[in-house]
A and B are shown apart, each in its own frame.
Chain A
C-alpha cells in the first residue's frame, strides 16, 4: 500500500488548522512538541501553548487545571511517558474528575525502531482503558487521524489519542466517516473477521487480500476506538463470521484484544486469535525488522486466521 503521512504529522497539521475554529484549545507540552507535532500549533498560537519542561506529572495536572478553568487542553508526549510517567496524574487530574483533557501519545508501539524499548509505548492502551470515563482512540492513517483529532476536540470528556512515529499506509484515500465509538468496516467478508487499529489495519487489509486468494473471505474492521468499544460491530462480526482475529501494535494484555475478547466472551463466544507484541519488551532496530521479528505482519494475521478457522 502507498505510504502516507505519519499519524503524528496528520494530528499536528489538523490541530494547527483547527486552532482558530477552537479558541478554547490550548497545548501543554513536556518539551517534545517537535516530536509530538504540537509545534505548528504552538508557533501559530504562542499564547495558547505551554511548554512546562521535562516534567510529565506536572504537565498533566496543569492540563487538568486548565480544563477546570474552561479550556480544552491538548497534552501531548510520547505514549510511554504520558501514560506511564503520569498515570496517577491522569487518574486524579483527568479521569476521576472527568476534566475535558485531550491526552495525545505519540511514538506508540514498537515501530519507532532504533530508539529502543524504553521509548516504545506498548502498555499505554491498557493503562488508558483501565481509567473509567476515558475514551481511547487509535487511528490507522493520516486522513482518519485528522478526523479523529477534530472528533476528540468536539467530544466532551477525557480522551486518549494514540499516534505513531513512522509513515503509515494510506487506508482512506478518499476520507472516511469517523465517529468515536463507531467501527469502520473497511472490507466485508463472511468467513472470518479481522479487527485491527493503528498501523495493523493496513496489514489486516493485506492479510484479507491474501486470504481471498486462499478462498477465505475476511471482513476487516477498523476499531479505531478501543473504548467505548463498538459492541454492535463486534457482536455482528461474531454472529456473521466464524471467528475473530484481533491485531494491534501493543502488548498482549489489556489492549484491543482484551476489550474485544470480553465483549465476545460475554455475549457471543466465537473462536478468537490475537496478534500483538506478546508479553515482552522489544529491542532497538529498524522498524520493518522489528515488526517482522515481533510478529506484527500480514502473514502473522493470516496464520492467526488459520488458527480460528481450523484451516
Chain B
C-alpha cells in the first residue's frame, strides 16, 4: 500500500493545508464548540505527515500492521486529524461535520474505540508520548518497519509524565519514534511563558538523549525538511520543536476579535464565513 501514499510537493502540501484549515473551521463552527485555534497551529505538521510521503497508511485497511502511526497527544486539536484523515480517504469530509454530535464517532477528543484509524484515545494531557513509546517498542519487537509520530502541545509539556517518557525513549534508543511539540505559545488561560515556562525545549530535551530540531512549524518547507532529517536519524528518538502560531491562517481575524489565543471556542457563523474567505 505504501506506494499509494500521497507524496505531494511543498506547494501542493500548502494547498492541502488550506483545505484542511477550511474543514477545521467548518467542523467546529457546525459543532458549536471545539478548539479550532489549537488545531490550526498544527496543520503544516499533520499535512506533511499524511501527504508529504512520510507516513505509510491504508485508509481501506486502517489496522494494516506495517502502517506508520500518528498519536495526537494534544487530543483537543482532533479536528486537524479528522480533516487530514478525511482528505486521506479514511472517511468522507461530510461525516466529519457530525463532530461532537450525539452518536457521532467524531468525538471532541480522539476515541480509538469508535473510529478506525485513530491510534490512541487521548484527552487527558501527558500520555501520548508514553503510548507512542509502547507502540514503538511493540512494532520493533515484531520487526515491523513502522514509525511512530507523536504530537504534543507546549502547554502539555508541563505534565511530568512527558519527561518520564523522554527518558524512557532514550533508554530504548527508539529511532522509530519522532515527537513534535506544537509550540503555539498559548494554553487555556494565557501565554505558555506566563503559565509555566519550559522553553527553550530543545536545550532541555537534547540532554535526554534525543536528536532535536527547532523550526518554524507553520512553514511547510521547514516542516518537510525537519521530517526528512528526523527520518535519517537511526540511533535515537527525534524531537521537532515546532514553533507555530495558534490560529495560524486566520490570525488577522482573531486579532480583530482581540483574542489571539481563542482557546476552546468555535468561530461564529459570520466569523467562519470571513475565515473561509481568507483561506480561499
Contacts and interface: CB of A to CB of B under 8 A. Distances in A.
Interface of A: 26, 28, 47-48, 50, 52-53, 55, 57-58, 60-71, 73, 88-89, 91-93, 96-98
Interface stretch (B7-15, B27-35, B138-146, B251-259): B138-146
Contacts of A62: 130-131, 133-134, 137, 165, 168
Given A48-B141, A61-B134, A92-B127, A68 B120 contact: yes
Interface string B33-61: 00000000000000000000000000000
Q: Which 6 A-B pairs have the closest CB atoms?
A: A65-B134, A69-B138, A61-B130, A58-B164, A55-B164, A65-B131
A61 to B, nearest CB: 3
B137 A66 contact: yes
Contacts of A58: 130, 133, 161, 164-165, 168
A26 B168 contact: no
Contact of B131 (A47, A50, A61): A61
Contacts of B137: 26, 50, 62, 65-66, 69
A174 to B, nearest CB: 38
Contacts of B136: 65
Interface in B185-210: none
A58 B123 CA distance: 16
B65 interface: yes
Contacts of B130: 57-58, 60-62, 64-65, 89, 93
Contacts of A61: 127, 130-131, 133-134, 161, 165
Interface string B162-186: 0011011001100000000000000
A92 B133 contact: no
The majority secondary structure among interface residues of chain B is helix
Contacts of A63: 134
Chain B CB within 10 Å, residue with most, of A26, A66, A92? A92
Contacts of A73: 134
A57 B120 contact: no
B245 interface: no
Interface in B201-241: none
Given A65-B136, A68-B134, A97-B120, 4 more contacts: A53-B164, A64-B131, A65-B120, A88-B124
15 contacts: A58-B130, A58-B161, A58-B165, A64-B127, A65-B120, A65-B130, A65-B132, A67-B134, A70-B65, A88-B124, A92-B123, A92-B124, A96-B111, A97-B113, A97-B121
A91 B134 contact: no
A47 B111 CA distance: 31
B79 interface: no
B124 A64 contact: no
Contacts of B134: 28, 61-69, 73
Contact of B168 (A53, A67, A71): A53
A66 B121 contact: no
B103 interface: no
Given A62-B134, A97-B120, A57 B160 contact: yes
Contacts of B113: 96-98
Given A58-B165, A68-B131, A92 B142 contact: no
B156 interface: no
A65 B167 CA distance: 16
A261 to B, nearest CB: 31
A59 to B, nearest CB: 8
Interface in B91-147: 111-113, 119-124, 126-127, 130-139, 141-142
Contact of A68 (B111, B135, B142): B135
Nearest to B159: A57
B124 A68 contact: no
A48 B137 CA distance: 10
Nearest to A50: B137
Nearest to B166: A58
Nearest to A65: B134
A71 B165 CA distance: 19
Nearest to A67: B134
A2 B246 CA distance: 67
Contacts of B172: 50
B42 to A, nearest CB: 20
A64 B142 CA distance: 17
Chain A CB within 10 Å, residue with most, of B119, B132, B165? B165
B34 to A, nearest CB: 20
A232 to B, nearest CB: 29
B138 A93 contact: no
A57 B159 CA distance: 11
Contacts of A91: 124
B135 A69 contact: yes
Nearest to B132: A65
Contacts of A69: 134-135, 137-139, 142
A73 B127 CA distance: 17
B138 A70 contact: yes
